[in-house]
Chain A
Amino acid sequence: MQLTLWTYEGPPHVGAMRVATAMKDVHYVLHAPQGDTYADLLFTMIERLPRRPPVTYTTFQARDLGGDTAELFKDAARQAMARFNPAAMLVGSSCTAELIQDDPGGLAQALQLSIPVVALELPSYQRKENWGASETFYQLCRHLVHKPAAASETADKPAKARPTCNILGPSALGFRHRDDVKEITQLLNQLGVDVAVVAPLSASVADVQKLAEADFNVVLYPEIGMAAAQWLQRQFDQPHTQTVPLGSHATRDFIAEVCALTGLPQPAQDPSNAHAHWYAKSVDSTYLTGKRVYIFGDATHVVAAARIASQEMGFEVVGLGTYSREFAREVRDCAKRYGVEALITDDYLEVETQINALQPELILGTQMERHIAKRQGIPCAVISAPVHVQDFPARYAPQMGFEGANVLFDTWVHPLMMGLEEHLIGMFREDFEFHAGAAPSHLGSTRPAAENVAPAVAAPVASPVLVPTAAPAHTETLSTDSVHKVAPPAQAASNQATWSPEAEKELGKIPFFVRGKARRNTERFAQDQGVATITVETLYDAKAHYSR
């Protein structure tokens, strides 16, 4: 048994729903008790789908358990067939049905339906959502993909035909899948590659049957598409891409990989819409240098984000981790490149503890990290599922390709820019035009929390202690070049020194986002030195002490 408060991933049958819902003419008959239909609203509300997910639930209740739940399943499958007339059917059990041990596969077979029926074995007590999606897509491929036409026929192909590929992995409820597909399709088209099938997103059964006919596969989301891609490679010698085109560098690598696979010439330069690279070089971005960033999410987005943060934004990656256990090795390898240890966990409290200890200046994460960041008053941007409804935006907002890199630059810098704005307002606070009560609204009531963080967790948390010099370079009155060190965790101060009014005022001049650290460091320093009253001198002594 595992105590869980929030969970990053749903159960595996939700992953199967994501595949079924992504496709056009597949229906999923799920042996499940009343109540499991809650998952429908993930699709109709978060993704705002204008249709019901193509899922029929058997909805067994307690009084059915003594009787024939198997018959209930057969009725549901028969009725779903008659009503929805799908081209293929997925059948399987949710966690409770797994316990009552009806066999949906066998039962569906007994119905002798005229369409392909794919039985899913999704071990709910071991596996999770992404695995469920991956397994479902893999099983669909195994059951549906036709052997492509013989080699002699391919020789008859018109010589000038452009190479073709499939895009594998995009699904329903995927973080920015809709726009990533559009962006990468455009990119491939510009290179001279035609996209044959995108699957599972908006693919029909007939499309999946044709998968092996393309020249190669593009795996956009390894969590969902890799198992199928590897199978296609084994069965049909169909190669697949390894690079996920997240970030400018990775997009260039992806282009090189595609060109190597197809023999197409590599374009000499980036397209005219690739702004992110120049933006990061422009002098306005200098203050981003060495910003301490913490990254958490699914494996693909974390590995990519770490590379972008480090190489394209000039941040310092101070910690990273994932909830995708299936890709733990890749994430550990990635972490090593940045000299940190990867956190592999699906317990958001562990993530919170680590963030608490590291006190990063920016968090890139999921919905959970957004809430952790909000509580701690740390800027944050969302890079990975699970996400709430606002991260299924109406506007075009890919993460991949060059436009994706532009989106990422804006998304990540935005919360930091807001921090700078706040600092500027703070600097001019005593001007007649800015009264003290006019706090910027974006941090709302959480703003003071930056100074006075009460640990939300009851468990003892190592108090973060950092150098109070992480101020942006342009605030020359107070900051020298930033040097970051993590001092040993502070003990709870028992005999706190008092702040003189001048020192308190001086402290107020430090940007709010490092003020809390400065306060803690100074108090710790005062305590160590036996200083009873903190003066302006003590403040700067402490600063010098921790800057060593």
Chain B
Amino acid sequence: MSTVIPIRAETSGCTDVVPLVERGQREVFCGLTGIIWLHRKIQDAFFLVVGSRTCAHLIQSAAGVMIFAEPRFGTAIIDERDLAGLADVHEELDRVVGQLLARRPDIRLLFLVGSCPSEVIKLDLSRAAERQNQIHHPKVRVLNYSGSGIETTFTQGEDACLAAMVPGLPASTDTAPALMVVGTLADVVEDQMRSLFERMGLQVNFFPPRNSQAMPVVGPNTRYLLAQPFLADTARALQSRGAQHLAAPFPLGVEGTTAWLQAAATEFAVPPEVFEEATAAPRQRAEKALAVQRQMLQGQRIFFFPDSQLEIPLARFVHRELSMDLVEVGTPYLHRQHMAAELALMPTGTRISEGQDVDLQLDRCIADAPDLVVCGLGLANPLEAQGITTKWAIELVFTPIQGYEQAADLAGLFSRPLKRRLKLAA
């Protein structure tokens, strides 16, 4: 890159932003956490973490009140015998996987999920998965990916998981362009999106699918839209199967959703009047609902701590559609290309930070005294105790927030803490 920043009339928003890059203590989840929503999505999959008691404890703490008769995730806890080489790790894994599949005959797809301990001791989980595949073929397919903290941050666990599935997707034999939406969406959102696309005359496949037996096909005819911003590796894997990315902002808020749908409509040459007819009603409904929220939120100053990579699209939404002022937008990782459409819509001069040194960031946050801080649960109550209103970030990953019908719900997630503060102060 040239050191001289060219002055261009058409330069918009934050396209050329130089983020504040920080390294230090990070108050973030590791990629294992992705299991919590992924296993709800793919209903016949089991996620077996190969790790330590810490990993098991993490997932359990993060899953919190999600209580199932039988959760479809678990941990093969490495113990001292495995470390001392007293037990052959692969034989141990055979035993544990056998035990698991005997208990859960309904499982058709098993993920061996790498963790920090398994990465550090260089346990070759890809070889293990291959071996398990041979043992349990054809009933169960076994894949592997890493959700370790040393390699992945929170939502990147989903990226790693989806990327691991891409090579096994059936090849498309069609030549006519086909649409694929990539990234986990709540079922209700997925159904809405499907119906919107159908009203435009488009057939769409969702990835990941709800069932491992219904994997979407992929090939050079595939055009994919990213529904989530954290899918760098998945996109690369799809690209290597010939699929082409449709650049778009993410479907958050009315503007984001419209632009996202428009990207597909443009690619598939949907006539403008058809697009208009398909989207007009939900768009107007959402705008009306948002107007109510805007009264509460406009002019409020918001600060995002890094968490999920959803921060930039969310900041774009709250700024443009709810008239909030952006103090700092932190992201664990900034993917320039996937974020390009978003950055162009961001107000010029926004302070964007990548990575984290949590103590320094807290200093900045407190000095800036924002009206609302989006942060993790480890920081939320301590900040509230200092008189700063917070919105805990993880809820933004678990709640259906994409699409028109959810736009006001999404805004509500930001307005509720402020409303509460007003109520309790009164």
A interface residue numbers (CB < 8 A to B): 1-7, 9-11, 13-14, 33-42, 44-45, 48-52, 56-62, 64-65, 76, 79, 83, 94-96, 99-100, 123-126, 128, 371, 375, 388, 456-459
Contacts and interface: CB of A to CB of B under 8 A. Distances in A.
A126 B77 CA distance: 11
Given A4-B77, A11-B54, A40-B378, 9 more contacts: A3-B76, A35-B153, A37-B28, A38-B378, A44-B378, A45-B377, A96-B149, A125-B52, A375-B69
A57 to B, nearest CB: 5
A458 B54 contact: no
A504 B161 CA distance: 52
B192 interface: no
A60 B26 CA distance: 9
A51 B116 CA distance: 28
Interface in B1-42: 24-33
A7 B74 contact: no
B65 to A, nearest CB: 7
Indicate the size class of the contact surface on chain B: 35 or more
A485 B293 CA distance: 63
Contact of A62 (B103, B151, B378): B151
Given A1-B79, A36-B149, A456-B70, A56 B116 contact: no
Interface stretch (B234-242, B258-266, B366-374, B380-388): B380-388
B77 A36 contact: no
B89 A96 contact: no
Q: Which 8 residue pairs are nearest across A and B when measured between Cβ atoms?
A: A35-B30, A35-B149, A50-B385, A40-B378, A96-B116, A95-B52, A41-B377, A34-B149
Contacts of B83: 99, 125
Contacts of A57: 25-26
Interface stretch (B93-101, B270-278, B309-317): B93-101
A24 B92 CA distance: 44
A99 B120 contact: yes
Nearest to A61: B150
A456 B67 CA distance: 12
Given A56-B25, A95-B52, A96-B52, A11 B57 contact: yes
B415 to A, nearest CB: 22
Given A3-B76, A7-B53, A375-B69, A34 B100 contact: no
Contacts of B105: 458
A48 B359 contact: no
Interface of B: 24-33, 50, 52-54, 56-58, 60-62, 64-65, 67, 69-71, 73-80, 82-83, 87, 89, 92-93, 95-96, 99-100, 103-105, 116-117, 119-121, 148-151, 153, 359, 376-382, 384-385
A222 to B, nearest CB: 22
A190 to B, nearest CB: 34
A40 B380 CA distance: 11
Contact of B24 (A42, A59, A126, A458): A59
A76 B25 contact: yes
A4 B376 contact: no
A94 B119 CA distance: 15
A4 B149 contact: no
A34 B378 CA distance: 14
B117 A96 contact: yes
Contact of B76 (A2, A11, A124, A125): A2
Contacts of B89: 1
28 contacts: A1-B77, A1-B87, A2-B79, A6-B71, A7-B56, A10-B57, A33-B150, A34-B28, A34-B30, A35-B30, A35-B31, A35-B148, A36-B30, A37-B26, A38-B61, A40-B377, A41-B376, A41-B377, A44-B378, A44-B380, A48-B381, A49-B381, A51-B382, A52-B378, A95-B117, A99-B121, A371-B67, A456-B69
A45 B381 contact: yes
A33 B381 CA distance: 23
Given A1-B87, A65-B120, A124 B26 contact: no
A45 B380 CA distance: 9
A531 B105 CA distance: 36
B68 to A, nearest CB: 9
Contact of A35 (B29, B69, B75): B29
B54 A124 contact: yes
B58 A35 contact: yes
A531 B359 CA distance: 75
B376 A458 contact: no
A4 B75 CA distance: 5
B266 to A, nearest CB: 39
Nearest to A454: B69
A60 B70 CA distance: 34
A57 B28 CA distance: 11
Contact of A11 (B53, B116, B376): B53
A534 B116 CA distance: 60
A458 B150 contact: no
Contacts of A458: 70, 103-105
Contacts of B32: 35
